[in-house]
Structure 1
């Protein structure tokens, strides 16, 4: 019974955590955190007026956030309509500042998107197909790697690979292809860190590419950063000094073909940089919280997105190093270097033809 009770208690905590992320989704989408951070403490009526929401909803959200410890209340004994709530300064990077590497409020958005697919996912599990693609709205699409790329890709990760860093700084100016570039922040980060390079990002998502083009224009980079709605197979062969595949390879239905195409895009002495989820070398059970986290997203998003193609490798989010090495070798690469650094979330691989 001890194990039974422990599991029951665990699922209760899991439910509370899921509900908390849902509350974070509301705070992010309605601008409630941003109002508390930018306009200061507020009563429920003041917050409702600032953000144009209903006062009773605002009061319930503020009380829930306070009892959860995400925000603070000045006087717990004050009448409900009089209580003033504030967002601690230490919580601003996590809940408000999208430029900070600690920003996590996007997780509420991602959870909402994932849960919306569950009825379709039940059917997909039965048929083996992929569920229908999800539109960006109403939840929006979280740019969850934006701050990480802008703060670390060009400032820490690429400089940590001496041969790549040297080529990106050298003349003639290097050319970079960013495969599965999403909304473009990886391409932009490379261009900002290396002022002479040109970067060409490709992605199959029209909405993502439209957003990428806007982002490049806002940062004054359209002369060196271009984007196209395309897959890598249609890109110029033998033209690029570096091809990046950043947190995308495990999502691809045919990773060997993608890597083979990336290899063909390389100029002499070029290489491919793959950044993907950091996972253990081998399957263990039970595993670390990080491994559990990756498997959770694999069940709901990464694996389903690659299903439906009869030729799919059906990798899922947990792509172990030996599996990636096998893909690279089959694609014609002679060497797969597991780079001697990682982050809590990502592992780094340099593929050499």
Structure 2
């Protein structure tokens, strides 16, 4: 049987080619943003005053040829503006907020850092895809670990205390009076420390299976002055210690777990009968077509190269995916023994789910 090949529309072909060229530029720009962040280029331009390559090189203590080409790439991508009459470059104030203000929910370098670290390890994912195995979180480079914390922390700082926790029925009152909280999959402890600072009458246990993350979390808790009411332990989501918790939290980690149902079952055993399990997950709808947008595209990319391999590296390997959606998360909670489930808050990047026994 012979099939006739469709006639190629040259205009559509070249439109796709130029779109792909733009994508290559965007891929390289991830490294350029991390470069600008780590070398201090954005911070040196944050005042909004026009600057020459020589002046930026002097302010940042770096070599002018690198600064010149970096600035030109940033101008071509619209990150900075260029004035041909003066041969000077300007970082718009709005871009400066997104690229230099680390406590702003619009802060972007952390996202670029985790993306660059993820792409750096893509070769291992290729091998895992061929074999059906996985790549554990602990196997990734430090840009993945540090970038993840820098990306999510500003959103937690902007929303957790005054938005997400008050959206949970009765939880804030318990925290003010003195509650026991387990923060599961705590990473570097940003969420744990943030809650501990806001609610000094409560005690917190953060857990993560990654020893290096727990070491950093302990150091940061001590530096924040909350070490007396925060404990960190190396433990998986299926074996963290303690029972009778008033609140169990999981921030952007349930979908990474190999056995989220097993984790849900353990949470059910650990939470008090009138307690709450708060699940914060990446923003997603329940259907593929709901997620065909810029945020969904980014999260599907992370899911392919980072989160799904992490799940497949563990027992069970359910591989929920970063865009699991609330319906699949509800199925996990119900399978773990919970009976009440509701979406209570959301941002462009996160959804907050309230789960009760």
**TM-score, structure 2 length as denominator?**
0.89
Alpha-carbon distance change, 114 to 137 in structure 1, aligned in 2, over 3 angstroms: closer
CA distance in 1, matches of 2:337, 2:121: 37
- Check whether the contact 1:251–1:305 (CA below 8 A) recurs between aligned residues: yes
Report SS of the residue matched to 1:162.
Answer: coil
- Check whether the contact 1:155–1:193 (CA below 8 A) recurs between aligned residues: no
Structure 2: segments with no counterpart, 5+ residues: 1-8
Question: Paired residue for 2:99?
Answer: 95
1:69-218 to 2 correspondences below 5 Å: 69-73=78-82, 75-78=83-86, 83-131=87-135, 133-136=139-142, 140-143=146-149, 144-170=151-177, 173-218=178-223
CA distance in 2, matches of 1:131, 1:160: 35
CA distance in 1, matches of 2:313, 2:237: 20
Alpha-carbon distance change, 32 to 138 in structure 1, aligned in 2, over 3 angstroms: farther
- Check whether the contact 1:23–1:108 (CA below 8 A) recurs between aligned residues: no
- Check whether the contact 1:154–1:194 (CA below 8 A) recurs between aligned residues: no
- Check whether the contact 1:177–1:199 (CA below 8 A) recurs between aligned residues: yes
CA distance in 2, matches of 1:15, 1:59: 20
Question: Paired residue for 1:66?
Answer: 75
CA distance in 1, matches of 2:199, 2:230: 12
Shift of 1:230: 1.8
CA distance in 2, matches of 1:323, 1:138: 26
CA distance in 1, matches of 2:85, 2:319: 55
Report SS of the residue matched to 1:146.
Answer: helix
Q: Does 1:45 align with 2:54?
A: yes
- Check whether the contact 2:260–2:318 (CA below 8 A) recurs between aligned residues: yes
Shift of 1:139: 9.2
Alpha-carbon distance change, 227 to 38 in structure 1, aligned in 2, over 3 angstroms: farther
CA distance in 2, matches of 1:97, 1:287: 29
Deviates more, 1:191-200 or 1:298-307: 191-200
Deviations 1:233-277 (A, max 9, x none): 443442310000111100001001111111111123111011112
Query: Which residue of the other structure, out of 264, 279, 285, is the alignment partner of 1:259?
Result: 264
Report SS of the residue matched to 2:323.
Answer: coil
CA distance in 2, matches of 1:295, 1:101: 21
CA distance in 2, matches of 1:322, 1:106: 29
Query: Which residue of the other structure, out of 336, 339, 346, is the alignment partner of 1:342?
Result: 346
Q: Does 1:312 align with 2:317?
A: yes
Report SS of the residue matched to 2:353.
Answer: strand
Shift of 1:64: 2.1
CA distance in 2, matches of 1:296, 1:348: 21
CA distance in 2, matches of 1:181, 1:147: 15
Question: Paired residue for 1:28?
Answer: 37
Report SS of the residue matched to 2:78.
Answer: coil
- Check whether the contact 1:238–1:268 (CA below 8 A) recurs between aligned residues: no
Structural RMSD (CA): 2.3
**TM-score, structure 1 length as denominator?**
0.90
Shift of 1:85: 3.1
CA distance in 2, matches of 1:137, 1:15: 21
CA distance in 1, matches of 2:48, 2:343: 47
Report SS of the residue matched to 1:284.
Answer: helix
How many residues are paired up?
345
Structure 1: segments with no counterpart, 5+ residues: none
Question: Paired residue for 1:275?
Answer: 280
CA distance in 1, matches of 2:296, 2:223: 37
Shift of 1:49: 2.8
Deviates more, 1:154-163 or 1:41-50: 41-50
